[in-house]
Amino acid sequence: MSPTDQTKTEERRAEAKREKEKVRKKQLRGEGIGWNGKTLREQLAELEDKTEATDHYGGLTKLTLKDEDPIRYEQLYARLRGDLVTARETSKEVSATPIVEQEGELCYGLFTPEGDSIAVSTGIIVHIHTMSEAIKFMINHNYEENPGINPGDIFINNDPHVGDVHPCDLMTLIPVFHDGELVAWAGGVNHVIDTGAIGPGSMNVSQASRFGDGAYYTARKIGENFELYNSWKKEYPAKTRTPNFLKLDERTRITGCLMIRDSVNEIIDSVGVDTFKQLSREAVEDGRRSFRNRIKRTMLPGTYRGASFVDALYEGQENITREYANENHIMHAPSELHIREDGTFQVSFEGANKWGWHPYNCTPAAIQGGVWVMLTQTVIPNELVNDGAYYACDFHLPVGSWANTQNTETAHAYAWHFLVSAWAPLWQHLSRGYYSRGFWEEINAGNANTSNWLQGGGIDQFDKLHAVNSFEAACEGIGARYVEDGEPHASAVWNPEGDMGDAEAWERVEPLPFLGRAVKPNTGGAGRRAGGAGFESMRTVKDVSRWLLYEMGNGYMTSDSGLFGGYPAASGYILNARNTDLKERFENGEDYPQHDLDPESGEFESKIEGEITRRPEGISTPKEFDDYDLYLNYLRGGSGLGDPLERDPKDVLSDIHDGYILPRHAEDAYGVVVEKINGKAKHNSSVQGEWTIDENATAKCRQEIQNKRAQKAQPVSEWYDEERERIQDEDLIDDVKKTYVSSMRMSTQFAKFFRSFWDLSEDFEFELSEKAQRSLNNRFDTGLRPMWDNYTLRHKTWLDIGDEPYVPYTWTNRSIQDLSGSQSTFGDSRSMTDDD
């Protein structure tokens, strides 16, 4: 530590000591650390009561500070947000892992004493609201009394049941005091490389319960006077395979939080604590109003419906930690977006099926955080992003489902596996609303399912225990927009500023040299506007022992369906090779695999000898790899929009030359016939030669495709009858039947809807195999084991109320056509401004 840093640290500790003395005197008088002597629980209860009674955050029916001096208000808010971004950009240089330093898997938030975000940094802002939940957990569980919340304290959490997406996202929370009062919280989250799970890497996939997820730290105090406890400094590194990386990540988060704390103190010194308090409350209410006005401006009221599915195939896999987990799952997300006439909306997953013995389960904090980050990229893509949007929404997350397990035995290490897929229909709900109101530029078919994830670990090239987690997945293809193609290998839904990272940076921390890295053709969905392509990296293993690697992603199923006639993105697959002759090929100067750009070509297999695995599944449990073995890291593309036959043939030709599609795929998907005119020119890694369009053949081909469509087309009524017959005859695989039985057991509303839709008898049920029935009974009989003892009012829509949860329109005949009048939208919106 430099002399300057040492002096700053000593000043902070001296300041904390003075503040603690003020807090102690207040406590001796029987006062709390909240405003005006209230306890934090009293302050939170009062805030929620006022919000509930007035439908305005904290009862703020007027934005006094903003209305009386709007320029000053904007200046102060911009200063807060700017300081948060500065804290992120500065502190991430402390980290040693490319996950943070290269990919930017880091974010910060400033929160009210009650835990509502005021302003956020850039980065993985999915975790802003998860930190809100952790703060509220501490308030509702009397942390003010025990273990105490004092100036200079440091807290940590990675428990998804408290406030997180999955355990590898560690959050640091530091309270900010002024004159004995808690005025704010500073919080930061980053994705760490290993949490000590049963398998190496941050998101192991072979465990059946949370007891294999790795270390859980449940809203724990780990330091005071801005100094970590010795017990923590010994415990934390001992629970991971990568202690030095985690130590630096922790310093990263603490550094950023302290920078934010200093910024708040400087603002208070400049404008006074009362102005800061007013700003923090008004900013949240301003965010709520802005969000609601944006909904009124861009959407139509009503109910938007969709569904997504993801396969999690474990039957026959090795290294499963529990015998009862040796089964296949299909995760089901029937989503509804209820846009109400007042501009509020509810996201409902009524009908979601039961949680499973796998690490893809979610919690309300994860779902809410995920929807929140999606909204920041769609409805509110501006700087005024905070928990105001959260207060304009509510969520129905059925208790006991994969979305809200309320069972602390469930595993959550890779909640993203289905979480990203569950959001996919929500992008399209919003896009259909945008289309209805004419906001075509805002339409997006949805982002890619962010996988594969190269993960693993063992003894590395330095003879040290190590783990890897390649965050190339931060750079996937983007779904097509209505007015233009999706961006190729650009970002991830959970990190809109993602980066694939430099190969050299990854090779510094992973004993997995790159043999090749290239755009992956045919991965973006076909359409009038094409989805952005993904990419791939071919990696080998060098100088390791007992090294494990595994894959994780959807395989047979693709959850990223196209929009308005567009095609979905490509599904996943696994490709690796073990016990290879790669070393000999290197020594003899022979060809070796650098890519798998055309999986049907056989090129990969022609350039390597060994035990080659090529499978359509997307998940594998950890397998041992040795030197010169090969692993393909395949990152996905985005979905398409519009009829592919309407795509300009010139754009298809450009796609060929840019490596986004293979020449034969141009004819299959787009009806564009091309021919090679120069075999020597090379535009990219996947396509050799210069190509041109055969216009006459293209016109003929497209007409033939349209004719075939007409011949194959059938009335919906005929399709309906055929599918209904299949259901009645139970002509479905057991995994599909198990999925629907699970959803119907979870929700009487969904069961009634399903039977009504398919015109089935009221007592219709699928007959399951003995194994499938035992699996469901096993999980349904497990019951609830909730973490929260006390809930806030805002949690009411993801808890059961009476016999049925409060869901205003779920599974009724209401649709987006059922408006209150033929010209109805949201009534008078003349008071809106362009900024809204």
Instruction: Tell me whether strands 611-615 and 117-120 are parallel, antiparallel or unpaired.
Output: unpaired
The CA-based angle 423-425-431, given to 5 degrees, is 110
From CA 421, how far away is CA 447, in angstroms rounded?
9
The pLDDT score that the predictor gives to residue 834 is: 38
The pLDDT score that the predictor gives to residue 831 is: 44
Task: Write the DSSP string, 50-64.
Answer: HHHHHSSGGG-SS-H
From CA 547, how far away is CA 234, in angstroms rounded?
26
Beta strands per DSSP E along 93-219: 106-111, 117-120, 154-157, 169-178, 181-191
From CA 189, how far away is CA 155, in angstroms rounded?
12
Provide the β-strand partners of residue 117. Answer: 111
Element (H, E) at 580: none
pLDDT one-digit tens code per residue, 68-112: 999 999 999 999 999 999 999 999 988 888 889 888 899 999 999
The pLDDT score that the predictor gives to residue 127 is: 84
From CA 258, how far away is CA 279, in angstroms rounded?
20
Element (H, E) at 256: helix 243-271
pTM value? 0.93
Residues with Cβ < 8 Å from 18, sequence gap 6 or more?
A: none
Listed residue (538, 486, 492, 496) closest to 655, CA to CA: 486
Structure tokens at 648: 């300009």
Helix axes 230-238, 243-271, angle to 10 degrees: 130
From CA 604, how far away is CA 580, in angstroms rounded?
12
From CA 449, how far away is CA 456, in angstroms rounded?
20
Residues with Cβ < 8 Å from 644, sequence gap 6 or more?
A: 526, 527, 528, 565, 566, 567, 669, 670, 671
Residues with Cβ < 8 Å from 350, sequence gap 6 or more?
A: 334, 336, 396, 398, 747, 749, 750, 805, 807, 810, 811
**How are strands ordered across the β-sheet holding 534-540?**
514-520, 534-540, 630-635, 574-578, 611-615
503-532 burial by CB neighbour count: b if 16+ within 10 A, else e? Answer: eeebbebbbbebbbbbbbbbbbbbbbbbbb
Residues with Cβ < 8 Å from 774, sequence gap 6 or more?
A: none
Using 50 as the pLDDT threshold, list the residues of the chain that sit under it: 801-836
Distance set, CA 207 to CA 315, 322, 414 (Å): 14, 8, 10
The CA-based angle 640-646-652, given to 5 degrees, is 70
Listed residue (424, 439, 518, 552) closest to 479, CA to CA: 424
DSSP helix/strand/coil, 23: helix
Task: Specify the residue for token string 């006439």.
Answer: 341
Residues with Cβ < 8 Å from 834, sequence gap 6 or more?
A: none
DSSP helix/strand/coil, 756: helix
Element (H, E) at 625: strand 623-625
Residues with Cβ < 8 Å from 475, sequence gap 6 or more?
A: 489, 490, 491, 492, 498, 499, 500, 535, 635
pLDDT one-digit tens code per residue, 605-638: 999 999 999 999 899 999 999 999 999 999 999 9
Instruction: Tell me whether strands 393-396 and 345-348 are parallel, antiparallel or unpaired.
Output: parallel
Length of the chain: 836
From CA 490, how far away is CA 89, in angstroms rounded?
20
The DSSP symbol for 146 reads I
Listed residue (679, 10, 819, 768) closest to 1, CA to CA: 10
The pLDDT score that the predictor gives to residue 368 is: 85
Residue 641: what are its φ and ψ, rounded to 5°? -135, 130
From CA 635, how far away is CA 450, in angstroms rounded?
7
453 touches 200 (CB < 8 A): no
Listed residue (557, 339, 540) closest to 432, CA to CA: 339
Task: Specify the residue for token string 């330091």.
Answer: 223
206 touches 454 (CB < 8 A): no
Give the largest Cα separation in the chain, rounded: 89
792 touches 163 (CB < 8 A): no
**How are strands ordered across the β-sheet holding 328-339?**
302-313, 328-339, 345-348, 393-396
Residue 189: what are its φ and ψ, rounded to 5°? -135, 140
Long-range CB contacts (within 8 A, 24+) of 764-773: 765/741, 766/730, 766/732, 766/737, 766/740, 766/741, 767/730, 767/737, 768/734, 768/737, 768/738, 768/741, 769/734, 771/327, 772/327, 772/734, 772/735, 772/737, 772/738, 772/741
Listed residue (517, 523, 552) closest to 538, CA to CA: 517
The pLDDT score that the predictor gives to residue 812 is: 44
The pLDDT score that the predictor gives to residue 125 is: 81
From CA 243, how far away is CA 95, in angstroms rounded?
12
Residues with Cβ < 8 Å from 47, sequence gap 6 or more?
A: 57, 58, 114
DSSP helix/strand/coil, 356: coil
Q: Please, what sign has the CA dihedral across residues 376, 170, 203, 364? A: negative
CA terminus-to-terminus distance, the chain: 46
334 touches 384 (CB < 8 A): no
Element (H, E) at 127: helix 127-140
The CA-based angle 344-333-523, given to 5 degrees, is 105
